[in-house]
Structure 1
Amino acid sequence: MRDSTEMNTDIFSDILKVAEARSLVTGGFTAGGRWAIRFPAPTTIKFFAIVQGQCYVMIDDEPEALHFATGDVGLLSAQRGFVLASHTDVEPLDAMSLFSGGGKKSTQLGDGSDFRQIGGHVLLDPVFGPVLREMLPSWIQIHAASPQATTIRWLLQQLVAEQADGQPGAQLASAQLAQLLFIQVLRVHMQKADALPAGWLRAMCDRRIAPAMSMLHGDPAHNWRLEELASACAMSRTTFALRFRTSVGCAPLTYLQEWRMHLGKQALRKKTTSVAEIAQTLGYASASAFSNAFRRVTGMSPKTWREAGGYDSDRQTLPASASVNV
């Protein structure tokens, strides 16, 4: 049996790469006095951070307003409209009218002395993005007072500095910092393993099946047997299979097939890579064996999927409506 200790695979990075998650800062606003802004339902994942002051966040279909203080970060993955407000009883202004026109990236309500916020978006690949997005709750709030939020506070300070200084390379630096902020928010969220739904996010927090997950991701072309995976996790076949299904939501070999299909789709975007080469890379005995498996999962052949536009031309971009600052 292979030594699983040699497969120190970073599954989290694997998923982020497959989803092609990329973060960007779109701006922010300042406010003073009593104020409120309504934002439309996002088509992307949105994040926002409170740099100064406090506010209430009222998300459509949520029964109660959320209180955010200085240093708090929010992540909204659900396609729901929401309101940011100094007080819950203020009639909100429409964000589209406040931020529209001339590439406007910031605005001020009142004298702007009480509150400051910056925000942005996390773009995902339209084909592979659901691998990540479907594992996220509707919203996440990370409190600045949380002991795990030290890195987030530092990243937020750096983002504010990049936005204010206007140094060469500020746009790229802000995007890199926003990417790190997104990763750190997910890391903090993953510490609540018991509250996570079944899926790869929960599986990464489950130390009992971590060796098997590392093996599957470290060498997806290998013909893994249930006995090998269970032995690496120091469990019986039955106990391991139950634990894996509880954490991941499917059987180990089903997960392996699904992961192979994700990797196969990515490889098909490179039009110079043949189906036979992809099949060999993923551990299939022949191009026809891979094609049959691909057709069972997707309903079409690899060639048809490739010709249907499953490559870079379908990359998710930021819609005009999503450029509204949060």
Structure 2
Amino acid sequence: MDVLSDVLTLLRPQTFVSAGLDAGTAWAIQFPGHEGIKFNAVLKGSCYLQVDGDENVYHLNAGDCFLLTSGKPFAMGSDLSIPKIHSDTIYKHAKEGIATCNGGGSLFLTGARFHFNNQSAKLLFGQLPPVVYVPEKYDQAAVLRWGIERFTTEFRSERFGRKTILEHLAPIMLVQTLRIYMSSPDAKNQGWFAAAIHPNLGAVMQAIHSSPQEKWTVEKLCEIACMSRSGFALKFKQIIGQAPLEYLTNWRMFIAAESLKNTGQAISEIALAVGYESESAFSAAFKKIMGVPPRAYKGIRH
């Protein structure tokens, strides 16, 4: 089983929004906080980017791509020291999804925002840096540029099959960005992605995701990892930020939540599918993680 594909299938991007920015000279824009993940590609010119709370300032050039993962406010401009206009000032006048600043002509940027109607999005993106930056010099960035240009074209069109193309392009762009980041020297050695590609923990992640109903113990998992019990437990906690069985429980509850929302299965069936023979034990674990009992969660409009 492909662990990343498994998680992305569970997350299921719900909404895709495409927008472009055509900027002139001497400009700076302040953007508010946002939901979901923003992906952008600079197709022409250059600019600077800074996310609130991140001391890094990124100098972006034509061909560069970046992912905004934190949802925090951010600023972009040719010069971030000059007074900034609020993004609403220009985006409320956008035509065909393109906002124009200072007459345009110097920079063109296009992007998409992906929404995830699922609490487990934090599992995947929570420990990524606020900016996942993919410079044009990376060969793999060409796939991203093609994807975002195709995405933007399809978003503006009313052509037959538009929705299907958009739904297939978005995951491709996300996966390619994440692939590039994890193979880069900037990748953090903590978080879900670090565990998924770790030479020992990767096999454990694979096992948990392929068989969440299995009666896993720390002993069984450390055997899969080919590590000592203490070494495995420590390394897992250091990288994931959770103990192995805590992570297993969280993953089981995320799967159960999806089943409760999207299937007509009985709660007892869902409980069994994620490793609980007792419906009462499952309900207690579900309430602890999700905040409400399974029956109440099933009745909530998501």
Normalised TM-score (structure 1): 0.81
For the pair 1:39 / 2:39, whether they are aligned, the reply is: no
In the TM superposition, residue 192 of structure 1 has moved relative to its aligned partner by: 4.6
Counterpart amino acid of residue 16 in structure 2: L
Distance 2:55 2:286 in 1: 43
**Which residue of 2 is the match for residue 282 of structure 1?**
274
Q: What pairs with 1:1-326 in structure 2 (closer than 5 Å)?
A: 9-22=1-14, 24-100=16-92, 105-159=97-151, 162=154, 167-170=159-162, 172-192=164-184, 195-196=187-188, 198-270=190-262, 272-307=264-299, 309=300, 313-314=301-302
In the TM superposition, residue 106 of structure 1 has moved relative to its aligned partner by: 1.1
- Give CA deviations for 1:40-59 in whole Å, capped at 9, x if unaligned: 22233222210111111133
Asked whether the 8 Å contact 1:52–1:71 carries over to 2, the reply is: yes
Q: Compared with structure 1, are the counterparts of its residues 92 and 264 closer, same or farther at alpha carbon in structure 2 (3 Å cutoff)?
A: same
In the TM superposition, residue 195 of structure 1 has moved relative to its aligned partner by: 4.5
3-state SS of 2:105 partner: coil
Distance 1:64 1:228 in 2: 42
- Give CA deviations for 1:205-259 in whole Å, capped at 9, x if unaligned: 2121221211111111111233332222222323222222222222222221221
Q: Compared with structure 1, are the counterparts of its residues 163 and 144 closer, same or farther at alpha carbon in structure 2 (3 Å cutoff)?
A: farther
Q: 165-174 vs 111-120, which deviates more?
A: 165-174
Asked whether the 8 Å contact 1:39–1:94 carries over to 2, the reply is: yes
Q: 140-149 vs 126-135, which deviates more?
A: 126-135
In the TM superposition, residue 160 of structure 1 has moved relative to its aligned partner by: 5.8
Asked whether the 8 Å contact 1:49–1:117 carries over to 2, the reply is: yes
Q: Which runs of 5+ in 1 are unaligned?
A: 1-8, 315-326
Counterpart amino acid of residue 207 in structure 1: P
3-state SS of 1:68 partner: strand
Distance 1:286 1:33 in 2: 65
In the TM superposition, residue 294 of structure 1 has moved relative to its aligned partner by: 2.3
Question: What is the aligned-residue identity percentage?
Answer: 29
Aligned length: 302
Distance 2:275 2:26 in 1: 61
3-state SS of 1:120 partner: strand
In the TM superposition, residue 278 of structure 1 has moved relative to its aligned partner by: 0.9
Counterpart amino acid of residue 70 in structure 1: A
Counterpart amino acid of residue 66 in structure 1: Y
3-state SS of 2:20 partner: strand
**Which residue of 2 is the match for residue 322 of structure 1?**
none
Counterpart amino acid of residue 32 in structure 1: G
In the TM superposition, residue 271 of structure 1 has moved relative to its aligned partner by: 6.1
Distance 1:304 1:241 in 2: 34
Asked whether the 8 Å contact 1:193–1:205 carries over to 2, the reply is: no
Distance 1:203 1:193 in 2: 16
Distance 2:142 2:152 in 1: 16
Distance 1:174 1:282 in 2: 32
Q: 156-165 vs 257-266, which deviates more?
A: 156-165
- Give CA deviations for 1:5-29 in whole Å, capped at 9, x if unaligned: xxxx211122222222356242202
Distance 1:189 1:165 in 2: 31
Normalised TM-score (structure 2): 0.87
